């Protein structure tokens, strides 16, 4: 897997299809007199280029899912955006997600921006046949007559090695892998320019995982879409992602091209994630990180990683390290790396 | 327990109003013991007097003070509801916990009976009881009959909780340490279902008091124990509305509506407290 | 398909159990008391006219036979069932010798009509408002309407019907408050008769709808606000599916299954309400018949009405139950 990752060629940073700036989103809960803010997305900035597969990695409950929900505008109370902006660029036109009305948002969904949800087991309406989902999601966006539409859908399914017979099934009649692949087919049937995939392989067994990943890679090659690919599994990132951002406790701590990240990670947390991967011919015991990820309701002051960090210094518990460019296309938020001068 | 009640009063307006109504009703019950006239005595005051300073809620055509009749009626009606709720809670706990814990055939048999009782229309059965019991139908008898009919819905609720408790590690631990089934149910599982038992008490009282009122108004209960329904029964039999003695009808009807709204508010807010999902929905508002 | 048949068979078994338990209960209730229906009947009849002892003895014999009271309790129980299965509920006393079944079937259409129309209206209104209130949680109008209907829900049927009676009978007399049609109406089918029947059914139906709609609304609102957090709803929203379509095909469609089960379970209570409401408005259905039978001391009519109510409600519950798998493909045999 490692060697395959090295074959990725960094895509030229043309105009970005997505620009996220200083995005902050908190869960605010108020129950029986206790107010709490959970800072699930805390000041994140990133850009994604056309045709790029951008991976987001991090432990569970590090805020990955909240980040992408905020990016696609799928937030619901108690999660709400506190600051920052999310701007997509489709066919030369800018769409600022949080400036759009519900109708405008609805028109770009699926046509330009689609989403493969985490826990795809329950994303299809359990009481209706799958063809109804295809119709509801895609028909209005494709602007075809019914016969042509269904031809297109069947052709798309066949291209993804799926039997068009799934259209007449109910979700509970399909296996987990089939359901996930059907969901991916549903998410890609309108040939969107930007696809968000949240842990698309997590609940699947290894063989099915490989099928699904191959499928996603093929789609990306055929459609030339950009992907925002989220998983906690670093080996999946090594296979799929062009560039990876590491999220820790709601913040982006390091971001680099996949080869750079796997060979020359600088943030101690990233180094730990990479080092914990198994390597062929290396039988040494993997060290685990002491401590647990912090509570987002009451994160530690300064760098959120400092209580678990082997390189922690005085300043780390007092100031928040900025995400500084270390080299072109490589950003790190760590005082031990960038120096404590900023 | 105390902090739960305090939090509910402070942050749940429905609970606060419901509790206030309940306290007022308990006040009325206490007050009823100081009634200057025995409840059953008639023609103790001038009949058909409209509400004034002396008779706050007027007097009835039977020469009774409507206010004191109302207080005593509230006492009997509430006592009735509490009695039925208490007995039927015991039944639903026994059936629900046993079915949920034992599972298998015991569960299937108990639930088949349970579901049958749930769908059988109770009103014709109650009328039938009155029809055959006639004068033997008294307050206590009706409590027993309604208790026997009013446990099934809540038994199902308790069973579903008991089923999930059965698979918890602490139950396994108790089983392996040789505790008897009765001991496990009473000492280990009962505390978990108590909150839901409290919440269902209110709903059960709404149901049983409603039934009692209906039967009383129709004259199908013991006419000598004055309840809220009895008052309406006597008012109707004296054609109070037609002869303009509106306070005789308005007092019990108003009190019943207030009583039911109070019980309902309590049940609603307690259910919400128990079910975290509905609490989350409230927060999302 | 076979799974569905097994499901139906099980439900049918439950139906038989309900009928068996219910009918047995009515039988034993009537037999556990010292009241002798034959003596009761004779005393009612002889109240009005003096009869010679021989005639009374003859009457006693005939009545014992008619009521199926020969032999010990077990024999009576068997003969009770066999007569019931033949649809023979004995003769009515108050309208002797008209068979009870004939009297009941005259009243039945009124009750069934009132119950079905009121249940349908309250189920539709309650669920529609509940779904809207659960989906559009910020709407002020929906909140006020919900609050009103939920507030009415705990009030006993009798009291609410009684309040409507006072309002429309004394305060603002615009609607007929008693009976199913005008006293001296021409009972041949005509437009004016239908209109008259509808006018008479408005208040009883309104009482039932006002009490019923609130509980459907509460249930549907809770279900809706839980279902909108389900993955398939979020996914449809992200898929740019329109909000009316989401509400109808995703939210309501999924909530309907538990609501239908709820309808089946509360059918007994709805029947109670219908009967009680009929009594308040003197509507010519089962309820009024039941009260008249009690006052007339008509033993066989009361027993027949109770038995028939149990069987009728149990069959209706069965029919609704076997419908629910058609709405949810996941329900097969449990």
Mean pLDDT of all residues in chain C? 84
Q: Does C103 touch chain B (CB under 8 A)?
A: no
Is residue C265 domain-resident?
yes
User: Which own/partner pairs from A90-98 qualify as long-range (CB within 8 Å, at least 24 positions apart)?
Assistant: A90/A17, A90/A193, A90/A194, A91/A193, A97/A71, A97/A72, A97/A73, A98/A73
Q: Determine the pLDDT at residue A11.
A: 45
Q: Determine the pLDDT at residue B278.
A: 55
- For chain B positions 80-139, those within 8 Å of chain C (CB to CB) are 112-113, 115-125, 127-134, 136
Element (H or E) spanning C70, and its range?
none
Mind listing the pLDDT tens digit for each residue in B11-39? 778 888 888 998 999 998 888 888 887 87
User: For B138, what's the count of Cα atoms within 13 Å in the CB-facing half-sphere?
Assistant: 4
- Bridge partners of B268, per DSSP, are none
The CATH superfamily of A1-112+192-205+218-302 is P-loop containing nucleotide triphosphate hydrolases (3.40.50.300)
Q: Which of A214-218, B39-43, B77-81, C297-301 has the lowest mean pLDDT?
A: B39-43
Residues B125, C137: C-beta atoms closer than 8 Å: no
- For chain C positions 148-167, those within 8 Å of chain B (CB to CB) are 151, 153-159, 162-163, 166
Q: Which of A24-28, B3-7, C126-130 has the lowest mean pLDDT?
A: B3-7
- Bridge partners of A44, per DSSP, are A23
Q: Any residues with CB less than 8 A from the CB of C203 and at least 6 apart, and which?
A: C161, C164, C165, C168, C175, C176, C177, C281
Q: Determine the pLDDT at residue C77.
A: 86
Q: Inform me whether the pLDDT recorded for C87 exceeds 50.
A: yes
**What chain C residue is nearest to A72 in terms of C-alpha separation?**
C238
Q: Determine the pLDDT at residue A287.
A: 67
Q: Determine the pLDDT at residue A31.
A: 64
Question: Which of A85-99, C107-121, C260-274, C284-298 has the highest mean predicted lDDT (pLDDT)?
Answer: C107-121
The answer to whether A234 and A274 are in contact (CB under 8 A) is yes
Which one of C137, C163, C313 has the shortest CB-CB distance to B119? C313
Is residue C211 domain-resident?
yes
Contacts of A74 in chain C (CB under 8 A): 234, 237-238
- The whole domain housing C196 covers 102-292
The class level of CATH for B2-283 reads mainly alpha
Q: Determine the pLDDT at residue B182.
A: 83
Mind listing the pLDDT tens digit for each residue in A84-136? 889 998 888 888 988 888 888 888 888 889 888 876 568 889 888 999 999 99
Higher local confidence (pLDDT), A75 or A21 = A21
Domain ranges for chain A, please list them: 1-112+192-205+218-302, 126-190
Q: What percent helix, strand, coil does chain C show, rounded to 5?
A: 75, 0, 25
Which one of A31, A33, A76 has the shortest CB-CB distance to B279? A31
- Percent of chain C exceeding pLDDT 70 equals 91
Q: Determine the pLDDT at residue C100.
A: 86
Average pLDDT over residues B259-264: 90
Domain ranges for chain B, please list them: 2-283
What is the pTM for the complete model shown? 0.82
Mind listing the pLDDT tens digit for each residue in B59-71? 888 888 888 889 9
Q: Quick check: helix, strand or coil at residue C331?
A: coil
Q: Inform me whether the pLDDT recorded for A327 exceeds 80.
A: yes
Mean pLDDT of all residues in chain B? 84
What confidence category does residue B1 fall into, taking pLDDT thresholds of 50, 70 and 90? low
Q: Which of A26-35, A310-319, C158-167, C309-318 has the lowest mean pLDDT?
A: A26-35
| B-contacting chains (≥3 CB pairs under 8 Å) | A, C
Residue with tokens 């994303």: A123
Is residue C202 domain-resident?
yes
Q: Which of A201-205, A273-277, B96-100, C152-156 has the lowest mean pLDDT?
A: A201-205
The answer to whether A262 and A241 are in contact (CB under 8 A) is no
Mean pLDDT of all residues in chain A? 83
User: For C48, what's the count of Cα atoms within 13 Å in the CB-facing half-sphere?
Assistant: 6
Mind listing the pLDDT tens digit for each residue in C235-283? 888 888 888 899 999 999 999 888 998 898 888 889 999 999 999 998 9
Is residue C152 domain-resident?
yes
C143: CATH: 1.10.3720.10
User: For B153, what's the count of Cα atoms within 13 Å in the CB-facing half-sphere?
Assistant: 20
Q: Determine the pLDDT at residue C287.
A: 92
Most C CBs within 10 Å, among B77, B109, B128, to test the C interface: B128
ipTM of the prediction? 0.84
Task: Give chain C's domain count.
Answer: 1
Instruction: Using alpha carbons, select from C276, C284, C268 the residue that is nearest to residue C158.
Output: C276
What confidence category does residue A3 fall into, taking pLDDT thresholds of 50, 70 and 90? very low
The DSSP secondary-structure symbol of A122 reads G
């Amino acid at each position: 897997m490692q060697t395959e990752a090295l074959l990725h060629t960094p895509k030229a940073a043309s105009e970005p299809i997505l620009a996220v700036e200083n995005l902050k989103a908190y869960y605010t809960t108020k129950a029986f007199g206790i107010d709490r803010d959970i800072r699930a997305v805390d000041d994140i900035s990133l850009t994604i280029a056309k045709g790029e597969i951008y991976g987001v990695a991090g432990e569970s409950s590090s805020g990955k899912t909240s980040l992408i929900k905020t990016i696609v505008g799928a937030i619901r109370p108690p999660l709400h955006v506190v600051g920052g902006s999310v701007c997509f660029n489709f066919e030369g036109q800018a769409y600022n997600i949080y400036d759009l009305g519900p109708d405008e948002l609805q028109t770009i969904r699926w046509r330009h921006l689609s989403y493969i949800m985490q826990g795809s087991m329950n994303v299809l309406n359990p009481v209706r046949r799958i063809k109804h989902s295809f119709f509801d999601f895609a028909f209005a966006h494709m602007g075809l007559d019914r016969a042509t539409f269904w031809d297109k859908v069947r052709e798309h399914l066949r291209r993804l090695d799926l039997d068009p017979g799934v259209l007449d099934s109910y979700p509970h009649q399909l296996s987990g892998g089939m359901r996930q692949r059907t969901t991916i087919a549903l998410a890609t049937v309108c040939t969107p320019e930007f696809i968000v995939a949240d842990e698309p392989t997590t609940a699947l067994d290894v063989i099915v995982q490989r099928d699904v990943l191959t499928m996603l890679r093929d789609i990306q090659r055929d459609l030339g879409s950009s992907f925002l690919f989220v998983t906690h599994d670093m080996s999946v990132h090594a296979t799929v992602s062009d560039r990876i951002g590491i999220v820790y406790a709601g913040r982006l701590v390091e971001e680099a091209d996949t080869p750079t990240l796997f060979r020359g990670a600088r943030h101690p947390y990233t180094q730990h994630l990479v080092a914990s991967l198994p390597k062929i011919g290396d039988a040494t015991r993997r060290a685990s990180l002491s401590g647990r990820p912090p509570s987002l309701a009451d994160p530690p002051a300064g760098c959120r990683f400092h209580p678990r960090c082997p390189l922690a210094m005085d300043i780390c518990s007092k100031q928040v390290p900025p995400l500084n460019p270390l080299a072109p296309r490589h950003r790190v938020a760590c005082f031990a790396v960038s120096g404590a001068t900023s | 327990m105390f902090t739960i009640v305090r939090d509910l009063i402070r942050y749940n307006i429905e609970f606060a109003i419901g509790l206030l109504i309940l306290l007022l009703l308990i006040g009325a019950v206490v007050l009823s013991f100081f009634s200057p006239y025995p409840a059953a005595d008639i023609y103790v005051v001038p009949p058909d007097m409209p509400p004034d300073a002396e008779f706050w809620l007027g007097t009835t055509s039977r020469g009774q003070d409507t206010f004191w009749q109302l207080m005593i009626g509230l006492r009997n009606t509430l006592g009735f509801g509490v009695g039925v709720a208490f007995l039927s809670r015991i039944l639903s706990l026994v059936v629900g916990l046993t079915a949920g814990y034992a599972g298998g055939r015991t569960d299937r048999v108990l639930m088949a009976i349970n579901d049958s009782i749930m769908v059988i229309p109770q009103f014709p059965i109650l009328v039938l009881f009155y029809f055959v019991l006639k004068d033997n139908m008294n307050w206590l008898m009706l409590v027993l009959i309604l208790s026997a009919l009013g446990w099934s819905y809540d038994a199902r609720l308790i069973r579903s909780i008991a089923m999930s408790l059965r698979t918890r590690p602490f139950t396994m631990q108790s089983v392996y340490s040789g505790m008897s089934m009765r001991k496990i149910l009473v000492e280990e599982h009962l505390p978990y279902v108590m909150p839901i038992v409290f919440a269902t008490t209110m709903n059960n009282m709404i149901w049983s008091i409603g039934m009692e009122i209906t039967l009383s108004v129709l004259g199908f209960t013991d006419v000598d124990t004055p309840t809220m329904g009895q008052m309406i029964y006597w008012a109707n039999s004296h054609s109070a509305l037609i002869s303009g003695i509106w306070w005789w009808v308005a007092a019990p009807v108003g009190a019943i509506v207030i009583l039911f709204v109070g019980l309902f508010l309590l049940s609603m807010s307690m259910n919400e407290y128990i079910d975290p999902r509905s609490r989350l929905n409230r927060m999302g508002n | 398909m076979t799974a569905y048949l097994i499901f139906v068979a099980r439900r049918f078994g439950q139906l038989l159990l309900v009928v068996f338990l219910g009918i047995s209960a009515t039988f034993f209730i009537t037999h556990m008391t010292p009241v002798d229906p034959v003596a009761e009947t004779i005393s009612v009849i002889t109240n009005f006219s003096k009869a010679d002892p021989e005639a009374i003895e003859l009457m006693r014999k005939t009545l014992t036979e008619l009521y199926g009271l020969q032999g010990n309790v077990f024999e009576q129980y068997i003969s009770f069932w066999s007569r019931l299965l033949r649809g023979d509920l004995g003769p009515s006393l108050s309208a002797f010798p008209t068979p009870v079944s004939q009297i009941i079937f005259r009243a039945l259409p009124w009750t069934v009509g009132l119950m079905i129309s009121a249940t349908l209206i309250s189920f539709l209104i309650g669920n529609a408002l509940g779904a809207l209130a659960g989906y559009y949680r910020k709407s002020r109008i929906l909140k006020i309407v919900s609050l009103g209907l939920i507030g009415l829900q705990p009030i006993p049927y009798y009291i609410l019907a009684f309040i409507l009676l006072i309002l429309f009978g004394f305060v603002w007399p615009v609607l007929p408050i008693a009976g199913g049609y005008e006293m001296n109406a021409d009972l041949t089918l005509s437009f004016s008769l239908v209109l008259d029947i509808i006018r008479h059914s408005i208040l009883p139906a309104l009482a039932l709808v006002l009490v019923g709609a609130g509980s459907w609304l509460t249930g549907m609102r809770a279900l809706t606000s839980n279902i909108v957090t389900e993955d398939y709803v979020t996914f449809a929203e992200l898929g740019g599916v329109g909000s009316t379509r989401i509400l109808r095909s995703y939210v309501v469609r999924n909530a309907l299954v538990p609501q239908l089960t709820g309808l089946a379970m509360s059918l007994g209570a709805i029947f109670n309400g219908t009967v009680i409401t009929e009594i308040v408005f003197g509507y010519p259905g089962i309820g009024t018949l039941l009260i008249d039978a009690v006052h007339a001391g008509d033993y066989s009519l009361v027993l027949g009405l109770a038995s028939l109510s149990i069987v009728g409600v149990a069959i209706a519950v069965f029919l609704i139950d076997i419908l629910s798998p058609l709405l949810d493909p996941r329900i097969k045999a449990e």
